[in-house]
Amino acid sequence: QAHAAVMRKQMKQYDQPRNRSMGSSSTRRFSVKIEGSNEDFVLRSNGVFRAGKLEVLEGRLCLAISGAARAPDEKWIHMNKKYAYVPFCADFGPMNIAAVHHYCKLFRDYLVNQSMAGKKIVFAVPDYPGDITNAVFMLGSFLCLHLNTRSDIVMQVFSEINNKHLRPYRDATWLKSTYDLSVKDCWDGLLRARKCGFYNFLLFDEEEYLYYDNPRNGDLHFIVPNKFIAFKGPVSNNRCNSFAHAPADFVELFGSLKVETIVRLNEAEYEAKTFSEAGFKHVDLMFKDCTVPSDKIVHRFLLECEEAQNVVAVHCLAGLGRTGTLIALYLMKHFLFTAKEAISWLRVCRPGSVIGVQQHFLHEQEQRMHRLGRAQVSGLGVAMVECSSSEFELSTCEQIAQMVTDGMMHRDQARSSSTLEKCSSDPHLRNLVELDSEEETGAETREVLLESTRPSFLKRSKSLTSEGLAMLNDENQWPRH
C-alpha cells in the first residue's frame, strides 16, 4: 500500500510507553509526564470515592460529584452545555471529538500552568450515571492522549465506579441494545486513530468541526483526514424542516476539500450529473436502510476507495448507518481497527454512526478484513461470498430506519437551534443529559453551535504553535492512502 511506510513511521511515535510503576499490585501508582511540564504526575490506580471525589492524578486532578465539599486549593470545572450530546433516540454518547479536544486542552492547560502549581483541578458532574460516564470518558481520554497511558491502566483508575455508575454506549434506536460499547472501547478507538494519524492535538480545528457538524452547514465530518468524509445525503427538493441541502451546495466546498469521488448508498434523491458535470466521480452502491451490504457492494466500495488518490465523500440518507458501516470495513482492512475501535471512532467523529445489525456484521467481518489487509489484496480479492441483508429481519430494519429518520429530524432541529433551551423543551429529547456550564456559578445558557458565518475550511487555529505549523507543512505528518 502507498501509505504503509509513512504510516509505520508515524505509528512508532505513538507506541504505548511503559509508565513507571510504584508500589504493590493492589495499590499501584504510575508516574507520568505531560509534554510541556517538568512535573511528575502520579496516576492513581484502584482509587475510591471519598466524600464524593475520586483522585485521578494524585493531588492534581480528580472527578467529583457536584455538591461535594470544596477545598481552598481546588479549581472546579463543570461540563459546558455547548458540548452536550444530542441523541437521536435512546443513545447518549460518546461525546464527539470536539468535546474530547476541548476538555483535554482544558485539563492540560490548567495542569501545566505555573500559576496553578500545587492546586487540584476538580472535574465536577451531577450524580447521574450518564454524566459520570461522560466525565470518565473525558478524563480517560486525557490520560490516554496526553499522558500516553494504556486504556487498561486508565480503566484501573476508575475501577471503583466501573460497575456502579458507568453506562454503556449504544446505537441510535429505541430498541433494546444488543451491542454495547464501553468507555475503554472508545479510548481504544481514540488511541488507534491517533496512532494512524487521524487525530492530532496540534492540528485539530475545533471551530471548524463544530461549524460543519451543524445540519445547516452541511452535517459533514472527516473520518480520515485527506481520505473520508461522511455526510448527510443531498436532495433535489428540500423537504420541510429536513435541513437537507441540494447537491449544488456541496460543489464548491468539495472542490476545496479535494474530493475526488462521491459514493451514494441510498435511493437517488438528486441527479448525479450535478456532481459528475462538476468534475467529481459519482458512484451508486444502493442497499436498504439499516441493513448490511452484500460482498458485491463491499468489493466495489473498497476498490473505489483504494483507487481514489484524493478524498472520498460517502453518504446514505442520514450518512450514519450504511455510510459508517462501509467506512468501518475500510478502517478494519487498511488500518487494522477492531470492529469496536472502528465503531467508536466513527461515533466520536460522527455521532450515531453504525446501527442495529450493522454492529454485529462488522464484528463478524473483523478477522476477514484483517486478513485481506495484511495480504494487501485489492477489494475483497477472490474471497467473495453472496451474503446479503436478506439474512436479517427486514421488517425490523425498516422499523429501525424509521426511528433513525424521526430521530434525525428532531436532533437536527436541536443542533441547529441557537440555545439548549429549545433543545431541552423538545419532548423527543427528554433523555438529553443536562450539563452544567463551565462557570462555577449559574451562567446563562451557552450557544450550542456556532453562528452561520462560514470560516475557510482550510483555516487553522490561530493558537497553533510553531511545532504545529511545522507539522502542517510537513506532508509526511498526514496519512496517505
At residue 200 the predicted structure's pLDDT band, cuts being 50, 70 and 90, is very high
Instruction: Collapse the DSSP code of 130 into the 3-class scheme (helix H, G, I; strand E, B; otherwise coil) and give the result.
Output: helix
- 185, 227: one domain: no
In sequence order, which ranges of 319-393 are alpha helices (DSSP H)? 321-335, 339-349, 357-375
Mean of the per-residue pLDDT values for the chain? 81
Query: Which of 198-202, 289-293, 406-410 shows the lowest per-residue confidence on average (mean pLDDT)?
Result: 406-410
Tell me which residue of 164, 141, 169, 168 sits closest to 56, measured CA to CA.
141
The residues annotated as belonging to the active site are: 316
Q: What is the CATH number of the domain that holds 62?
A: 3.90.190.10
Q: Which of 380, 414, 445 is the last residue of a domain?
A: 380
Residue 237 lies in domain: 210-380
The structural domain count of the chain equals 2
Give the pLDDT of residue 290. Answer: 84
User: What is the C-alpha to C-alpha distance for residues 475 and 10, in angstroms, rounded to an integer?
Assistant: 12
Q: Does residue 433 register a pLDDT over 60?
A: no
Give the pLDDT of residue 26. Answer: 42
Domain-embedded: residue 456: no
- 226, 183: one domain: no
Phi-psi region of 127 (alpha: psi -120 to 50; beta: other; left: phi over 0): beta
Query: Which of 188-202, 275-289, 348-362, 429-443 shows the lowest per-residue confidence on average (mean pLDDT)?
Result: 429-443
User: What is the C-alpha to C-alpha distance for residues 148 and 117, in angstroms, rounded to an integer?
Assistant: 21
Give the pLDDT of residue 29. Answer: 59
- 266, 121: one domain: no
Higher pLDDT, 343 or 454: 343
Q: Does residue 134 register a pLDDT over 90?
A: yes
Q: Does residue 364 register a pLDDT over 80?
A: yes
Q: Does residue 96 register a pLDDT over 50?
A: yes
Q: Which of 355, 380, 405 is the last residue of a domain?
A: 380
pLDDT digits 0-9 by tens, 377-398: 999 997 565 554 444 465 567 7
Q: Does residue 428 register a pLDDT over 70?
A: no
Q: Does residue 266 register a pLDDT over 80?
A: yes
Q: Does residue 445 register a pLDDT over 50?
A: no
Give the pLDDT of residue 44. Answer: 80
Give the pLDDT of residue 404. Answer: 65
Neighbour-count burial for 359-380, b at 16+ CB within 10 Å, e otherwise: bebbeebbebbeebbeeeeebb
At residue 34 the predicted structure's pLDDT band, cuts being 50, 70 and 90, is confident
User: What is the C-alpha to C-alpha distance for residues 288 and 398, in angstroms, rounded to an integer?
Assistant: 9
Asked if residue 78 lies in contact with residue 437, where contact means CB atoms within 8 angstroms, the answer is yes
Q: Does residue 296 register a pLDDT over 60?
A: yes
Higher pLDDT, 46 or 98: 98
Q: ω before 94 within 30° of 0 (cis)?
A: yes
Q: Does residue 47 register a pLDDT over 70?
A: no
- 144, 72: one domain: yes
User: What is the C-alpha to C-alpha distance for residues 295 and 383, in angstroms, rounded to an integer?
Assistant: 9
DSSP designation for 476: G
